Amino acid sequence: MTVASTNSPVAALLVELRRDGGEPLHRQIETAVRDGIRAGRLRQGSAMPPTRAIAADLGVSRGVVVEAYQQLVAEGYLTSRTGGYTQVAMGAEAAAAPAPPVRRKPRIDFGYGRADVTHFPRAAWLRSIRTVLTDAPSERFGYLSGHGMPELREALAEYLNRVRGTSARPENVVICNGYAQGSALLIQVLAAAGARRLAVEDPSSGDDARPVAEGLGLEVVGVPVDADGIQAAALERSGADAVILTPSHQWPTGGVLTARSRVAVLRWARRSGALVIEDDYDAEYRYDRTPIGAIQGLAPDLVAYAGSASKTLAPGLRIGWLVVPAHLSAAVAAAKVAADRGSPAIDQLAFADFVRRGEFDRHLRRMRPLYRRRRDALLFALDRKLPDFEATGRAAGQHLVAWLPPDLSEAAVTAAAARYDVGVYGVSPYRLSSAGRGGLIFGYASLSERTIVEGVDLLATAVAELRG
C-alpha cells in the first residue's frame, strides 16, 4: 500500500493506493480527491497539487494522475484551464437537513384503511406463483397491451359480474396499480377530452383524486351526502363533467345510495354527457344484509367501475382494476402505457390464477366473520361505554363513523384520546365545506377484539375527563 508522505504537497488528499487490490490506481486517486471535496477538506477554489508532484509522491506514472484529474474535471469536481492550475470547482456537500420527527403511532390505533394482512393467504398465493412460473407462456413476460394480462381481465370480468353485479367485458377492463392510479388515469383522459369540473362526495376521501384533478386544471366541487349517500338534486346543480361516487358504502359515512337516487344520478349523467366513477372500495365485506350491487351494472356506458385488492387481500400487492365504458377503453389503456408500461406480469398472472381457482372467494369467506366479530366488539363497547355516540355505516366495510353529541368537538376528543395513547380520527378533514356534524372514524379491521374493547374503555375515560 502506498501512502502520500506527511510533508508532501499532496498530504491533504489522503490518498492511499492499494496495489494488491483489483481497483485501478487512477480510480483510487479519483475516490480520494472526490471524498476530500465532499468532506470539505479540499475547499472550493483551492489549487490542486501538480500532477507531477502527486505522481512522484505516490510512485506512479504521471499519466495515472492525469487520467484521474480528467475524470474529476468531467464530473465537475475540478476545473482546469490551459496554462493554469487545476482548482476545486465545488464546495462541500450541504449538511443533510435534520430528519423530520417521526410521529409515533398510538398504541391502540383506530386508523382506517388497514386490512389485516396477517391473514394474507400465503400458501395459496405461493401455489399461484408457482403455477405461473411453470405454465405461463414465455410471451406473457414481454410488453403487452395497456389493458393488462388477458387472463386477469377475463377472470375479473367473470368474478365482478357474478359477485358485484357488474356488466363487465374483458376488453373493457384495464389493470392498474390500485385505485389511486386508476382514478388518475380516468381523470387524465377526461381532462384531455375537455372536462373542466369534477364532483366528489362531501365528505369523501379525496387524497387520491383531488390533487390529480387540480393539477390538471379541473375545478373540484363537493356535493353533500346524507344518510342515503350523495344528494342527487345537488349533483344536478353542480355543472360537473364527472363525479366520483362510493354508492355501495359511502366513505366515510357508510350510507348506501338508494335505488331512486341511483336512477337520478344515471339520468343526470346521460343528459349531461358526464361520467360516473364508481369507487367500490370495500363492498365485498357486508354483514347485515345482502350485498348491494354495483351501479355500473345498470349503465356500463355511463359508469367507470374501480376496484382493488387493497382492502380484500393486501395493499402491498398494488393490484387494481377499472371497468370502463367501451368508448374510453383505448384511451385509458394508452394512459396506462404512458404511465408505467403496464403492471407487473407475474403479479397479474398469479392473481388471475388465484381468482380462477376460487381462492379469492375462500379468502373473503374466511375474513367476513373475523371482521364482523371485530365490528360487533366495537359496537358493543361503544354502546356500553359511550352510549351517546351515534354509530353509522355499520353494515359493511372495515370502519364505521360515530357521530358526536353536541357538547363534544372532534379536536377535543382526538386530543384527549391521544393522551391515553389511543388514535381516533375526525370526519372534518374529509369535508370540502366547513359545515357538518362532528364525528369520529373507527377503523377496526386490524385490531383484535380485546384491543378494540380496551381502546374504547380508554376513550371513554378521556371523554369523561373532558366533561369534567
Beta-bridge partner residues of 308: 320
Domain 367-466 sits in CATH at 3.90.1150.10
pTM: 0.79
Residue 34 burial class via C-beta count within 10 angstroms: exposed 0-12, middle 13-18, buried 19 and up: middle
CA distance 255 to 246: 9
- The most distant pair of C-alpha atoms in the chain lies apart, rounded to whole Å, by 91
CATH topology of domain 119-361: Aspartate Aminotransferase; domain 2 (3.40.640)
Q: What is the dihedral of CA 113, 117, 123, 125, to 10 degrees?
A: 30
Res 37: pLDDT: 86
DSSP H or E run through 308:
strand 303-308
Backbone angles phi, psi at 462, to 5 degrees: -65, -40
**For the chain, what is the radius of gyration of the CA atoms?**
30
CA distance 335 to 206: 21
CA distance 49 to 326: 70
Tell me the H-state helices in 107-244. 122-135, 150-163, 179-192, 209-215, 232-236
Return left, alpha or beta for 178; rule: phi > 0 is left, psi -120 to 50 is alpha, else beta: left
Domain 2-88 sits in CATH at 1.10.10.10
CA distance 41 to 29: 15
Intervals of CATH 3.90.1150.10 along the chain: 367-466
Contacts of 324 (CB under 8 A, 6+ apart): 172, 174, 186, 304, 305, 332
What is the per-residue DSSP string for 346-397?
Answer: HHHHHHHHHHHTTHHHHHHHHHHHHHHHHHHHHHHHHHHH-TTSEEE-TTBS
pLDDT tens digits for 330-370? Answer: 999 999 999 999 999 999 999 999 999 999 999 999 999 99
Intervals of CATH 3.40.640.10 along the chain: 119-361
CA distance 141 to 153: 16
pLDDT tens digits for 190-229? Answer: 999 999 999 999 999 867 899 999 999 999 999 999 888 8
pLDDT tens digits for 13-72? Answer: 777 788 776 788 888 888 888 888 888 888 888 888 888 888 888 888 888 888 888 888
Of 418, 447, 441, residue with least CA distance to 429: 441
Intervals of CATH 1.10.10.10 along the chain: 2-88
Backbone angles phi, psi at 467, to 5 degrees: -85, 0
Percent of the chain residues past pLDDT 70, beyond the cut: 94
Contacts of 29 (CB under 8 A, 6+ apart): 13, 15, 17, 54, 58, 64, 65, 68
Q: In which band, very low, low, confident or very high, does the pLDDT at 96 lie, cut at 50, 70 and 90?
A: very low
